[in-house]
Amino acid sequence: MALLSLRELTKSFGGLSAVKNLTFDVAEGAIISLIGPNGAGKSTVFNLITGIYRPTSGSIGFAGRDITNLKPNAVADFGIMRTFQNIRLFAYMTVLENVLVGRHVRMHATPWGDALHSPYQRREEDACRERAMELLEWFGIARYATDWARNLPYGMQRRLEIARALASEPKLLLLDEPAAGTNPAEKAGLMKLVQSIRGRGVTVLLIEHDMKLVMGISDYVHVLDYGEEIAHGKPEQVRHDQRVIEAYLGKGA
């Protein structure tokens, strides 16, 4: 059964349709890529799924429930976490604190418990710090734990953003151009990382411009152009699709 299903999803801004009649499913445990030229509506799809935008029409189902009009924090609570195209870390909080904020929805201490550091709060806090450190170790950034997020090298900030998104143990991870601005070595590391994330049972929906990365790790690819799906299939099929080549390179190429 599909973990995430978009049904005839449409989003218009005034007269402009950023996303038109988009329908596709994301199977549990898969790595699915969303590609397309700039302005094709990929990020809009993410914003619709995570509840920043309300769709003009259509619906979004997740794990058997309708999440179409939920607010971002509720969507996160259901188990969908995301990263951002332009990094949006909590710059003046430590790396560890960033990950702990990411775990917010899995922590249940009350404000009273927080203020009094109740036994429950302490147990939970300790357990979460431990989980957070394990996560940072996995991502190879544990040694930065007490540094501010903003002081990390760029590539590490990208990794931290993914770690923060994984801290709450989501079912679905949305990655918005995780490889943007990284060097080839970092890209290779990122590919491995995304695969190991899937290996731990997290479904991944990926927006990416780097074709080598997309073709290398995706199980299935959806191609958008001007808000509409123009092709979908396995990476090999999509790569040779005439409409995809035209969308990227123009007609007659």
Partner 1 sequence: MRALARRFPSLPLGLHRYRLDQLVGGAIVVVALLLVPVLDSNVSQISAFADAGYVLLLAFGLNIVVGYTGLLVLGYAAFFAIGAYTYGMLASPQFNLHYNFWLMLVVSALVAAAFGVLLGAPTLRLRGDYLAIVTLGFGEIVPQLLRNLDKFTNGPNGIVAIDQPSIGSYSFGFNPVPYYYLYFVVICVCLVLLNNLRHSRLGRAWMAIREDELAAEHMGIDTTGVKLLAFSIGSAFAGVAGVIYASKVTTISPDDFQFQVSVMILLAIVLGGIGNLVGVLVGGTIIALLNFLVLPQASNWAHAIGDKFGIGALQGLDLTNYHFMLFGLILVLVMLFRPEGLVPSATVRAELRAEQETA
Told to check if 65 binds partner 1 by CB under 8 A, we report no
CA 124 – CA 102 distance, rounded (Å)? 14
Site for partner 1 (CB under 8 A): which residue of 27, 30, 105, 230? 105
CA 162 – CA 26 distance, rounded (Å)? 19
Told to check if 107 binds partner 1 by CB under 8 A, we report yes
Told to check if 183 binds partner 1 by CB under 8 A, we report no
Distance set, CA 225 to CA 26, 103, 229 (Å): 19, 35, 6
CA 189 – CA 147 distance, rounded (Å)? 22
Told to check if 169 binds partner 1 by CB under 8 A, we report no
Told to check if 81 binds partner 1 by CB under 8 A, we report yes
**Nearest to residue 4, comparing CAs of 148, 203, 190?**
203
**Nearest to residue 28, comparing CAs of 223, 222, 200, 224?**
200
Closest approach of Cβ 107 to partner 1, in Å?
A: 5
Site for partner 1 (CB under 8 A): which residue of 12, 43, 53, 77? 77
Candidate segments 1-9, 56-64, 87-95, 192-200, binder of partner 1 by CB under 8 A: 87-95
Q: Which two tokens stand for residue 141?
A: 């950034």
247 burial type by CB count under 10 A (0-12 exposed, 13-18 middle, 19+ buried) = buried
Told to check if 38 binds partner 1 by CB under 8 A, we report no
Told to check if 92 binds partner 1 by CB under 8 A, we report yes
Told to check if 27 binds partner 1 by CB under 8 A, we report no
Which residues of this protein are in contact with partner 1, per CB under 8 A?
A: 50, 52, 71-73, 76-77, 81-82, 84, 88-93, 96-97, 100-102, 104-105, 107, 109, 111, 114-117, 121-122, 125-126, 129-130, 133, 142, 145-146, 148, 150, 164, 168
